Amino acid sequence: MILSGKTALVVGVANKNSIAWAIAEALLREGAKVALTYQNERVEGRVRDLAKSVSPELPCFQLDATNEAEIATAMKGVGEAFGGKLDMLVHSIAFAKKEDLEGGVVETTAEGFKLAQEISAYTLISLTRGALPMMQAAGGGSVLSLTYLGAERVIPNYNVMGICKASLEATTRYLAWDLGKQGVRVNAVSAGPIKTLAARGISGFSTVLDTVAGMAPLGRNVTTEEVGNAGMFLLSPWASGITGEVLYVDCGYNIMGM
């Protein structure tokens, strides 16, 4: 098992359909010790139940990524659970107000823009900063975030989230440059569309699913398991020469012109 003896913190599990959960399952399957976080009491029960379904000892911590104090407390808990060493961090969170995921981009308010950027892009920096001392203690580490094609092409209704994903991808490259000499790699998976809680907030999402299945070289949509496996690969030592990269896991849809 490639990840035996390695430790991972996975941020962004909301329920069993979450991409973060598929990544956690792939990490566990390859022998890693995994800790989860839940955003708030609303999702706590579901996350704890998922954790218990794989191991009675799997640690879970409350972490709203916009709350620096909660990041510090969660990281302290992770350090206690894993002997002060962390090898892998997964950032699988995003948020924009419903009204900013439909209608005109030109209507986006400064408040909606800042909120979406903070949760969807800035938190990659703050979570990585929180995890860094434990990665240094581990002699290096790797960080993974989740992005989408809407960062570079226009996907109707994705709107402010496309702008945030562009920011997230640039953040991935700058962090990769900043932390590379410390042996910390930072990469992103650009996943094809998957029906999750977050995706349900985007107007016309079922049209996106149908379009991709119709046009993608593989003739279908990607599964969360496939995204989980690719994420696990980028986090693992198999990807030791890869950093600052965005890997498409979308059944090939991104290569198509028509």
Is-contact 141 183, C-beta < 8 A? yes
Q: How far is the CB of 114 from ligand 0WD (least distance, A)?
A: 13
Q: By CB under 6 A, tell whether 196 contacts ligand 0WD.
A: yes
Is-contact 118 173, C-beta < 8 A? no
Q: How far is the CB of 167 from ligand 0WD (least distance, A)?
A: 12
Is-contact 111 160, C-beta < 8 A? no
- With CB under 6 A as the contact rule, the residue among 29, 54, 73, 95 that binds ligand 0WD is 95
Is-contact 126 68, C-beta < 8 A? yes
- Of 10-18, 81-89, 130-138, 172-180, the window that binds ligand 0WD (rule: CB under 6 A) is 10-18
Q: Which of residues 154-183 bind ligand 0WD (CB under 6 A)?
A: none
- With CB under 6 A as the contact rule, the residue among 2, 46, 48, 64 that binds ligand 0WD is 64
- With CB under 6 A as the contact rule, the residue among 3, 19, 27, 230 that binds ligand 0WD is 19
**Cα 127 to Cα 193: distance, rounded to the nearest angstrom:** 25
Is-contact 89 131, C-beta < 8 A? yes
- With CB under 6 A as the contact rule, the residue among 198, 212, 239, 247 that binds ligand 0WD is 198
Q: Which of residues 24-63 bind ligand 0WD (CB under 6 A)?
A: 39, 43, 63
**Cα 154 to Cα 233: distance, rounded to the nearest angstrom:** 28
Q: Is 64 helix (H, G, I), strand (E, B) or coil?
A: coil
The size of the interface with ligand 0WD (CB under 6 A), counted in residues, is 26
> What are the φ and ψ backbone dihedral angles of 154, each rounded to 5 degrees?
-80, 120
Q: By CB under 6 A, tell whether 234 contacts ligand 0WD.
A: no
